[in-house]
Structures are given as structure tokens and as C-alpha cells.
Chain A
Amino acid sequence: MSIKKVHSEQPENFEFNTNFKSIAEEILKKYPEKNKKSAVMPFLYLAQKQNNNWIPLAAIKYISKYLSMPYISVYEVATFYSMFNLSPVGKYFVQVCTTTPCLIRGADKIVKVCKQKISDKENQISQNGKCSWTEVECLGACVNAPMMQINNDYYEDLDEKSTSKIIDSIFKDKILKPGSYRGRKNTSPEESKTINGSEHA
């Protein structure tokens, strides 16, 4: 993953709203006063949640002042973790896992579908303004490879057909059920309800 681009159009101000502010104060209580900068990651996460899933520079400044840290330190953290977005993403943010197990099971085909349906390039918002996609490293669901994450949900055991279906439906603001798309229950073996293939406890 190359270095994240800071969006060219930035809001001028950022502040936690009352609800998030109280959550932030709760988070701060977990850390001793002298180590309050430990709260930088939950704070960035909060800011991202409040601001349509991306962190503006104003939020970086706001958080660094909140936690008495240098701007650059907050910026370092925000650029380090791939889950912090520094430029706007679609309302539905699709993250396709392309690490080895998923790739072997055909993640490249899913990427192809995303390119066709959503946008040519990664991190580009689709023409209808609803969706953007990106490739990510392992999301930890290798048993159900290939998979992708849309906002907070995992869609697993995908193929081109099911991916198209999912994307088509989110374009209509209809969110399909997350989980396996080959009828598996969680991570249990296919075509069988139990672990070793026979009726077992």
C-alpha cells in the first residue's frame, strides 16, 4: 500500500459533537494524565466515525491539541494504520483482501468486479457517489477466502457472481446479509453440518 494521500479539499474546522465528546472523555479516563496521548488511536477512530469515515487535517490538529501532542505525531499514527482514511470514501467502503490465501482462491476476480462496477482505480468514489473500494492486506478471515469487508461487515466465500450481486444491491441501498456466500455456517466445512462430515456432537 502506497502512502496515503491527504485530500485536497479540507473542512476548516473539526470538533467532536456532544455525543462523541462524552465518549472521548470516557476514553481519556482509561489513561493516567501523563500518558493521555495513548488515547490517540481511539480518538482518531472516533473522528473518522463522526466525519463520514475519513479523517480531515482539522481533526488531526484538534486531536493533537486535545492530547497535547505535536501535530506530526498524530499525523504519523494516522498515516501508519491502513484503517484510517485521510481522504473521503464512499458511503459503502469496500475493502477487498488480496493477501495470499484470498488471492489463491480468486481475490483478483473480485478486484476485477470492483473495477468494473465501482471505479477504475482504488479509492475513487463510484459515479453514483455511493461506493469506493480498496485492496487491503489480510483481514483475518482466510478460512472463508476470498472475502471483502463492506463498512463493518464481512462478506465471505465470494465469487464474481455473488460479488456483483452484493455491489448491485448496495447501490440500491439494500444491504445484504453478511457471512458466507456458499452456504457455509461460519467456518464449518462445506456440504456438511459437522466438523468431521458425519453426525457428531
Chain B
Amino acid sequence: MPKININGKEIEFEPGMTILQACEIAGAEIPRFCYHERLSIAGNCRMCLVEMDKSRKPIASCAMPAAEGMNIKTNTEMVEKARKGVMEFLLANHPLDCPVCDQGGECDLQDQSLYYGVDKSRFSENKRHVSEKYMGPLIKTQMTRCIHCTRCVRFATEVAGVPEIGAIGRGENMEITTYLEKSMESELSGNVIDLCPVGALTSKPYAFSARPWELKKTESIDVLDAVGSNIRVDTYGWEVKRILPRLNEDINEEWISDKTRYSCDGLLKQRLDTPYVKKNNKLVKCSWDEALDVIIKKFNETENSNIAGHIGDLVSLETTLAFKKFFELLKSNNLEFREKKFYVNSEDKMNYLFNSSINGIEKSDLILLVGCNPRHEATILNARIRKAFRNNKTPIFSVGNPGDQTYEYKIIGDNTQTIKDIIEEKHEFNKVFNTAKKPLIIIGESALELDSGGYIFEELKSFLNQKRLINEKWNALNILIQNASTVGALDFKILDNNNNKFEFFDNIKNNKFKILYLLNSDNLKFEKNDEFIIYQGSHGDRGAEIADVILPSAAYTEENGLYQNLEGRVQECRKASYPAGDALESWKVLNKLALAYKNKKLFDSYNTLREEVLKRLVNFNSLCQLPKYKEPSKKVNNSFKNEKMFISPMDYYFSNSISRASKVMSDCRDIKLKYLKSGTNN
């Protein structure tokens, strides 16, 4: 490896690195505003100037490639003077409004001017003023503060794939704006707030609500989709003030989706804080004892086989297991987690995982989407696909039309016959596929929902198996599931044993169940007959509306819990706040119910529950790691039917009870619907 001399220290660097990266290895800190590891290099803030031998002028280290034998100095008088000069220019037009700026306390400009700036200003002229720009309901702008680093412009074009932000005008009059001040149409738009090194782009919902140093920070994970992005939950007392991303190279890098970031105001609204019982067709507040009495009475009256339970989309592994245990106590196994009738074979763990792993997307050399819309179903995962498309020019194909995915792809067919042709090696696509060394097939829930869902899944699996693409090193079979609770529910087999006949759904329809226990379940669509519905959850949403008894429990930021993401990684969601009012942690509710019903606790403590969860997980490796590999079992035969590959549209901003309670999310949804109606799509 080539060597470079930094401040008299000789270090080795990888070819292709810039001087700034080499300096980082050497431990020499370099201030910067425009440079960002995950974006292209712009070199326009000039803050990273360093001194190089044989160069009379200081050089911008972020844009200069490091080369063998260079002699770099970062601690000389010249560098210090250069930094001070640049800082003075940056501050010439930057308003001194830190006391009323939301970035205060976590502002790069503030911090760096403290370390590298001058204490006085020599600029006595008028500062420039830039009018505010509208960028949608999520981003608040104060463009006078902008220092034109263009990070947001580069993020929008490169990572988010929606080239809508740009710099208009020039020189002193340059302004950052979206085209004609339309709102940014991306599910990743919130990330520009984190990228902005000053207070020009700040969070609109969080505006003026807290200072960063007075917030309690809890490292947790997101459960609003199945990706399991790593987040930091900032709370002030009980309230969750904001949610920020946390670095995890394996999952979300440092981005999170807008739903993850901005649903948090939903945690404060429509909360169930006390038990309710339906009296005279009206839900009235009651005590825990009263609610439990009603339920136990009903349990005793009803035959066990007529009691059913449904698990919702945000349920942790612990609660899932406790629910299963509780139903064992009831001697009923009418359990289900699916919200729609999609095919799933819970025999092998690989049958319901994204086996290639999210990192694997970047290694693959061909991607085939089968009936899925990753942009809405797993936004962060889609950002990875776009990264692969941009960096490696990975060709992407799709069966079915998922709409704009922020990258180019080729639709090779829109009915199931296409898949049959591929499996029988009769399709043109096979030629391309056979040349790929690490292809990747992503099957969405929409494809599994079809009548031939079973055929699509089982035949594609055996097709890949025959091609030796399912092994420990590379597993091309990927299922894109949508809910955070799905993998856990499948591990604990929360589905009717007679696998894919969907008896559970038929029984609801035929009014066989007399008691239906909805555990945080709001997305199950069915017509209520005379069944007695128990709803346990955190929000007064669809499930609570039809309930006869409501048991309040905690939301995901209010209890500890393990979740398995779509790759099968087990991650810990930590308690940042506490449940609202009389609400209890979900597993405690079930414990309480069991105690009242059979005078027997399900679990003695949270720790015993967690231990049992970890013991019963399938192919469990260790926390935050991918699960172990196991050879696939034999295939199940399924019948084929030629039908249209219909990708069921997803109401992205309204997909779960917390987002539905959030005002910010509903604003975003309104704007999106308006655009769809008027057809003014960029």
C-alpha cells in the first residue's frame, strides 16, 4: 500500500483515498462542511484546507486524491490562518441567530467556529437575506443561514434518487430550493435535515420544541416497517420529541425513512390510557379489574375452539411468545398473524427471510423483483438497491409494475406466466440470469397473495436450488415482508397449522369464532358479526373501534422488546418513555389476564420471558447477527394459474396505527394524494 506523510507521521492508505480520508486514519482532525462520506465530493466549502509540500497555496483535502510520498501538514500556522479566513467568509453572511435557531447545540458551524474561527467579525456591511422556501410539511427552511455546501442537493440526486433540490442563481445570490418550491417527493427527505451542517434545513414538526441537551437519548430500533432501522429516540419527560437515525452499516447506514422519523407525534395522540368496556353499545372507561372480569366471564362461557387471536404488525417477540403461551392456557390454537391471505411455508426459516441480507444487495450483479414495491414496502432497503444501481450499475428487472422506484428497471412481464417461463428456462431473461454470478430474487407479499403464490414461491426456490444459488455463501432467495412482527410470529408458528388453506380467515367470515383477541392488530380486514372482540393495543385505531373490551398497552418506545427484522437479525428495542396513563407493557397485560383466568402467571419476570424467547428462536445466532444457515427442506408442490401480477398499492404514510394517529403523516399523505390527482409529477 502507498504511504503518505501526515504531520510527520508516515501512514499507509488505500489507493483512491483522498487526503482528508488519509488524515482521518492518521488521527488528524479536519474541519469540513460540504464533504460527506456517502455523497459525491463537491469541494465548495473550502474548510478542509491543509498544507502540502511543494504547493504554495493550501489545498482542499476533501477533493485532492492522496498520492505516494505526499507530505501533508494540518497543524501549521498557514493552515490555521486559512481556516480562520474561510470561517470568516462563511460567517460574513450567516446570521448570528443561534439563540433562536433549532440547530443550536448540534450545529457544525457553531462547533467549528468555536474551534477554528476568529472571535470577532470585521464584516460591517449588511448581511444578505434569502426568503424562506417551502419544501413540504417535513422540512422547515431558513435559507439565510445556508452556507451552500450542497449536501442536500447531492443527497436528493444521489441517495434519494429524486433530483428536485437545486441551487439557483449564482455567486452571492445563490439559493437552494426545490423546483418552484414544491414539496420534496421522497420517502427519505427527512435525512437532509441531518445532513444540513447549519440550521438552514430543520425539522418542521420539531421546530422550537426542545434543545438537544435537555433530551434523554435512548438507542433503539424502528418497528414501523420490517427493515429494523437503528434509531435514537429523544424524549423530554414522557413525550417522544423526535427520532433520529443511528449508524448501522448492515441495515440503514445512516438514513431512516420519513415514516420512521416523523410518526413520533402519533405516539402522543389517540392513546389508549385506560381500559374500556362496551356498555349499551358505547365504550366507557373502566378499571382493569372490571375489564378483566368481563373478559374472564366471556372466556368461561365460550368453547375454547371458538376463541381466536390475531397478532398485529408492531408486536415484539416477547409479546408474541406470551400471546402464544396464553392461548396454550386457553387450549386454543386459532392464531394468525397475517393481515392478508399470502402464502407462507414456515418449514424453513429461509422461506420468510431476506436471505441475501441488505449488505448483499451491493454484492449482487442482478436483481429481479417479483411482485414487490420496495420503495414503499421497505424504503431503506430500496435505497440500497439504488446504491447498487448507481455504484455497480446492477441491472434490475421486475415482474409486475411497481411504479417509480427511483432507479431504472426493466419490466419483463406482468403475469405469472412469465415466472413459469423463467422456471422452465423458456424466457429470454434466462440468458441474462444464467450469466449472473450473484443474482438476487426478491419476492413481495403481493406475489404470494396471488392464487399461484404457492407455485411462485416453491418453484422459484427449487429453481434457485437447482442452480446452486442457495448455499451458505450466497442465498438468492429473498422474501420482502412488510411487518416488524412477521418473522417472529413465523418463528413461533403463529399461524394455522393447516398451512396455506387460510382457515382462520374463512372461520372469521363464517362467524365461527365467538371471541376474537386482537393483539395490536389494526390492519386485519373483516366484517364484524356477533363475535366478542378484545383489543389490546396502544392506539385508538381501527381495532379499538370495533372492540368490546379494550386493554391499553405500551407502544414500541415504551417497553423493552426484541424484534426480528426481515433478514432475521434480532435487535433490541429499548424503553425510552413509559406507557400512557393506566396502560401496561404488553406482556404484563397478558400476564395479568392469565393470573385472573387460571390464577397462574405466564412468566415470573421479564428476564425469564426473554430467555425463553431467545431459546425458542429458530436458527438463532446472536443479537444483531444474521441467523445461522440450514439446508432447505424438500419442496411442496403447488398448482399454477396464469393471472396478472398485481402489486397491491400500499398506503405508505398510513400503514400502521401510530402513523395513522400522526398529524405529520396525514399531511404528507394529503400532499401525495393531491399530486397523484393533479398528475404534476416531476
Task: Determine if B179 and A4 form an interchain contact, defined as CB atoms under 8 angstroms apart.
Answer: no
Most buried by A among B157, B163, B167, B179: B179
Q: Is there a chain A Cβ closer than 8 Å to B305's Cβ?
A: no
Q: Knowing A3-B175, A57-B180 touch, does A72 contact B164 (C-beta < 8 A)?
A: yes
Minimum CB distance partner of A1 in chain B: B173
Q: Is there a chain A Cβ closer than 8 Å to B168's Cβ?
A: yes
Q: How far is the CA of A79 from the CA of B178 in the complex (A)?
A: 13
Q: Chain A's nearest CB lies how many Å from the CB of B150? A: 11
Q: Is there a chain B Cβ closer than 8 Å to A191's Cβ?
A: no
Q: Chain B's nearest CB lies how many Å from the CB of A13? A: 15
Q: Knowing A57-B180, A70-B682, A72-B179 touch, does A2 contact B164 (C-beta < 8 A)?
A: no
Q: Is there a chain B Cβ closer than 8 Å to A66's Cβ?
A: no
Q: How far is the CA of A85 from the CA of B301 in the complex (A)?
A: 81
Q: Is there a chain B Cβ closer than 8 Å to A75's Cβ?
A: yes
Task: Kindly identify, within residues 126 to 183 of chain A, every residue whose CB is under 8 Å from any CB belonging to chain B.
Answer: none
Residues in A neighbouring B157, C-beta threshold 8 A: 70
Q: Is there a chain A Cβ closer than 8 Å to B169's Cβ?
A: yes
Minimum CB distance partner of B177 in chain A: A72
Residues in A neighbouring B682, C-beta threshold 8 A: 70-71
Q: How far is the CA of A72 from the CA of B162 in the complex (A)?
A: 10
Q: Mark A1-43, 1 if CB is under 8 A from B, else 0.
A: 1111010000000000000000000000000000000000000
- Of B165, B173, B175, the residue contacting A72 (CB under 8 A) is B165
Q: Is there a chain A Cβ closer than 8 Å to B85's Cβ?
A: no
Q: Chain A's nearest CB lies how many Å from the CB of B148? A: 13
Residues in A neighbouring B165, C-beta threshold 8 A: 72
- Of A1, A2, A3, A71, the residue contacting B179 (CB under 8 A) is A71
Minimum CB distance partner of A80 in chain B: B170
Minimum CB distance partner of B170 in chain A: A80
Q: How far is the CA of A71 from the CA of B169 in the complex (A)?
A: 15
Task: Kindly identify, within residues 63 to 80 of chain A, every residue whose CB is under 8 Å from any CB belonging to chain B.
Answer: 70-73, 75-76, 79-80
Q: Chain A's nearest CB lies how many Å from the CB of B166? A: 4
Task: Determine if A73 and B163 form an interchain contact, defined as CB atoms under 8 angstroms apart.
Answer: yes
Q: Chain A's nearest CB lies how many Å from the CB of B189? A: 14
Residues in A neighbouring B170, C-beta threshold 8 A: 79-80
- Of A1, A57, A76, the residue contacting B168 (CB under 8 A) is A76
Residues in B neighbouring A79, C-beta threshold 8 A: 168-170
Task: Determine if B173 and A75 form an interchain contact, defined as CB atoms under 8 angstroms apart.
Answer: no
Q: How far is the CA of A1 from the CA of B682 in the complex (A)?
A: 29
Most buried by B among A4, A73, A75, A79: A79
Q: Knowing A57-B180, A70-B682, A71-B682 touch, does A80 contact B169 (C-beta < 8 A)?
A: yes
Q: Mark A60-103, 1 if CB is under 8 A from B, else 0.
A: 00000000001111011001100000000000000000000000
Most buried by A among B157, B163, B166, B682: B166
Residues in B neighbouring A80, C-beta threshold 8 A: 168-170
Q: Chain B's nearest CB lies how many Å from the CB of A109? A: 26
- Of A2, A6, A57, A70, the residue contacting B173 (CB under 8 A) is A2
Residues in B neighbouring A76, C-beta threshold 8 A: 166-168
Task: Determine if A70 and B180 form an interchain contact, defined as CB atoms under 8 angstroms apart.
Answer: no
Q: How far is the CA of A30 from the CA of B302 in the complex (A)?
A: 81
Q: Chain B's nearest CB lies how many Å from the CB of A70? A: 4
Minimum CB distance partner of B168 in chain A: A79
Q: Chain B's nearest CB lies how many Å from the CB of A159? A: 31
Most buried by B among A57, A71, A72, A73: A72
Q: How far is the CA of A4 from the CA of B165 in the complex (A)?
A: 18
- Of A1, A2, A6, A73, the residue contacting B166 (CB under 8 A) is A73
Residues in A neighbouring B175, C-beta threshold 8 A: 3
Minimum CB distance partner of A3 in chain B: B169
Task: Determine if B169 and A72 form an interchain contact, defined as CB atoms under 8 angstroms apart.
Answer: no
Minimum CB distance partner of A70 in chain B: B163
Task: Kindly identify, within residues 143 to 181 of chain B, every residue whose CB is under 8 Å from any CB belonging to chain A.
Answer: 157, 163-170, 173, 175, 178-180
Q: How far is the CA of A1 from the CA of B168 in the complex (A)?
A: 13
Minimum CB distance partner of B165 in chain A: A72
Q: How far is the CA of A73 from the CA of B180 in the complex (A)?
A: 12
Task: Kindly identify, within residues 653 to 682 of chain B, every residue whose CB is under 8 Å from any CB belonging to chain A.
Answer: 682
Task: Determine if A75 and B169 form an interchain contact, defined as CB atoms under 8 angstroms apart.
Answer: no
Task: Determine if B166 and A4 form an interchain contact, defined as CB atoms under 8 angstroms apart.
Answer: no
Q: How far is the CA of A122 from the CA of B286 in the complex (A)?
A: 73
Task: Kindly identify, within residues 577 to 596 of chain B, every residue whose CB is under 8 Å from any CB belonging to chain A.
Answer: none
Q: How far is the CA of A4 from the CA of B173 in the complex (A)?
A: 10
Q: Knowing A57-B180, A75-B179 touch, does A3 contact B164 (C-beta < 8 A)?
A: no
Most buried by B among A1, A4, A70: A70
Q: How far is the CA of A76 from the CA of B178 in the complex (A)?
A: 10
Q: Chain A's nearest CB lies how many Å from the CB of B160? A: 12
Q: How far is the CA of A76 from the CA of B682 in the complex (A)?
A: 15
Residues in B neighbouring A2, C-beta threshold 8 A: 173
Q: Chain A's nearest CB lies how many Å from the CB of B560? A: 45
Minimum CB distance partner of B169 in chain A: A3
Q: Chain B's nearest CB lies how many Å from the CB of A139? A: 17
Residues in B neighbouring A75, C-beta threshold 8 A: 166, 168, 179-180
Residues in B neighbouring A6, C-beta threshold 8 A: 180
Task: Kindly identify, within residues 167 to 220 of chain B, every residue whose CB is under 8 Å from any CB belonging to chain A.
Answer: 167-170, 173, 175, 178-180
Task: Determine if A3 and B163 form an interchain contact, defined as CB atoms under 8 angstroms apart.
Answer: no
Residues in B neighbouring A73, C-beta threshold 8 A: 163, 166
Q: Chain B's nearest CB lies how many Å from the CB of A30? A: 24
Q: How far is the CA of A73 from the CA of B179 in the complex (A)?
A: 9
Task: Determine if B164 and A70 form an interchain contact, defined as CB atoms under 8 angstroms apart.
Answer: yes
Q: Chain B's nearest CB lies how many Å from the CB of A57? A: 7
Q: How far is the CA of A56 from the CA of B164 in the complex (A)?
A: 19
Q: Chain A's nearest CB lies how many Å from the CB of B682? A: 6
Residues in B neighbouring A72, C-beta threshold 8 A: 163-166, 178-179
Q: How far is the CA of A73 from the CA of B153 in the complex (A)?
A: 11
Residues in B neighbouring A71, C-beta threshold 8 A: 164, 179, 682
Residues in A neighbouring B167, C-beta threshold 8 A: 76
Q: Chain A's nearest CB lies how many Å from the CB of B194? A: 22
Task: Determine if A3 and B173 form an interchain contact, defined as CB atoms under 8 angstroms apart.
Answer: yes
Q: Chain A's nearest CB lies how many Å from the CB of B670? A: 23
Q: Chain A's nearest CB lies how many Å from the CB of B426? A: 33
Residues in A neighbouring B178, C-beta threshold 8 A: 72
Task: Kindly identify, within residues 76 to 134 of chain B, every residue whose CB is under 8 Å from any CB belonging to chain A.
Answer: none
Q: How far is the CA of A75 from the CA of B175 in the complex (A)?
A: 12
Q: How far is the CA of A71 from the CA of B180 in the complex (A)?
A: 10
- Of A4, A57, A70, the residue contacting B169 (CB under 8 A) is A4
Q: Chain B's nearest CB lies how many Å from the CB of A163? A: 28
Minimum CB distance partner of B131 in chain A: A3
Q: How far is the CA of A71 from the CA of B168 in the complex (A)?
A: 12
Most buried by A among B165, B169, B175: B169
Residues in A neighbouring B179, C-beta threshold 8 A: 70-72, 75
Minimum CB distance partner of B167 in chain A: A76
Task: Determine if A3 and B166 form an interchain contact, defined as CB atoms under 8 angstroms apart.
Answer: no
Q: How far is the CA of A6 from the CA of B169 in the complex (A)?
A: 12
B residues sitting closer than 8 Å to A (CB atoms) are 157, 163-170, 173, 175, 178-180, 682
Of the A-B pairs whose beta carbons lie under 8 Å apart in the complex, a sample of 19, sorted by A's number, is A1-B173, A2-B173, A3-B168, A3-B169, A3-B175, A6-B180, A57-B180, A70-B157, A70-B179, A70-B682, A71-B164, A72-B164, A72-B165, A73-B166, A76-B168, A79-B168, A79-B169, A79-B170, A80-B168
Besides the contacts A3-B169, A70-B179, A73-B166, what 16 more A-B pairs have beta carbons closer than 8 Å?
A1-B173, A3-B175, A4-B169, A6-B180, A57-B180, A70-B157, A70-B163, A70-B166, A71-B179, A72-B163, A72-B178, A73-B163, A76-B167, A79-B169, A79-B170, A80-B169
The 7 closest A-B pairs by CB, nearest first: A70-B163, A72-B166, A79-B168, A3-B169, A72-B179, A76-B166, A71-B179
